[in-house]
């Protein structure tokens, strides 16, 4: 699988119509693998070839929306310092815009062995028990719609707790308040 250097930004998976750029932040990683999964769950991994300011990145041509993926991070295992890099653990993209599946709770998803304490390193592969991030199509055809073009100096952002705001509204049926 041929991977190009790609770009550090935007973070996450960004499809451009011809391929997908992948980027993820890690201050301590010595290597980051991008793992792609087909419909049967078969995994193929490739190293992200570039690091720019702690952001690992690469571009894969011909990767389309719907592609399932995750990361494996190589680096220090120093629990006392908060470093728990473990390439046997598949990680969701923290900047991902979609995911598929659920966590299947098993000892494999934990970084340590249950019977050996929290500083023990669990090297059981977690991929079969983890959801996968999914590349999305970022383009949307808005048709004839357009934004309201309200200038910022005329814009008001109003946040409200819906239940509290509508609790006593006379035109909302009692059972919906």
Residues 6+ apart with CB under 8 A from 169: 177
Average pLDDT over residues 147-167: 89
Summarised one tens digit per residue, pLDDT across range 21-31 is 999 999 999 99
pLDDT band for 54, please (50, 70, 90 cuts): very high
How far is Cα 60 from Cα 98, in angstroms, rounded to an integer?
18
Task: Let me know if residue 153 belongs to a domain.
Answer: no
User: Between 173 and 106, where is the model more confident?
Assistant: 106
Task: Let me know if residue 150 belongs to a domain.
Answer: no
CATH code of residue 91: 2.60.40.10
Task: Let me know if residue 167 belongs to a domain.
Answer: no
Summarised one tens digit per residue, pLDDT across range 41-50 is 999 999 999 9
Whether the predicted pLDDT of 165 surpasses 90: no
Task: Let me know if residue 170 belongs to a domain.
Answer: no
How far is Cα 103 from Cα 17, in angstroms, rounded to an integer?
30
Task: Let me know if residue 176 belongs to a domain.
Answer: no
What is the reported pLDDT for 36? 99
Based on its alpha-carbon atoms, the radius of gyration of the chain, rounded to whole angstroms, reads 22
Task: Let me know if residue 31 belongs to a domain.
Answer: yes
pLDDT band for 17, please (50, 70, 90 cuts): very high
Average pLDDT over residues 61-85: 97
What is the reported pLDDT for 159? 93
Task: Let me know if residue 91 belongs to a domain.
Answer: yes
How far is Cα 32 from Cα 46, in angstroms, rounded to an integer?
9
Going edge to edge, which strands form the sheet with 43-47? 43-47, 31-37, 68-74, 132-134, 99-100
How far, in whole angstroms, is CA 109 from its chain's centroid? 16
Task: Let me know if residue 166 belongs to a domain.
Answer: no
- List the domain range (segments joined by +) for residue 62: 12-134
Q: How many domains does the chain fold into?
A: 1
Contact between 134 and 67 (Cβ < 8 Å): yes
């Amino acid at each position: 699988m041929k991977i190009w250097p790609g770009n550090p930004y935007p973070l996450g998976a960004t499809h451009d119509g011809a391929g997908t750029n992948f980027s993820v932040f890690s201050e301590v990683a010595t290597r980051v693998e991008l793992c792609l999964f087909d419909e049967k769950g078969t995994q193929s991994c490739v190293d992200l070839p570039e690091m720019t300011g702690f952001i690992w990145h690469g571009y894969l041509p011909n990767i389309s929306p719907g592609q399932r993926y995750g990361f494996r991070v190589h680096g220090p295992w120093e629990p006392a310092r908060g470093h728990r890099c473990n390439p046997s653990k598949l990680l969701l993209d923290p900047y991902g815009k979609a995911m598929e599946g659920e966590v299947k709770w098993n000892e494999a998803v934990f970084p340590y062995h249950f019977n050996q304490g929290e500083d023990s390193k669990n090297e059981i592969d977690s991929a079969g028990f983890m959801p996968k991030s999914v590349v999305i199509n970022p383009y949307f055809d808005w048709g004839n719609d357009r934004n309201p073009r309200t200038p910022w100096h005329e814009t008001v952002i109003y946040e409200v707790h819906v239940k509290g705001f509508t609790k006593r509204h006379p035109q909302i049926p009692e059972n919906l308040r």
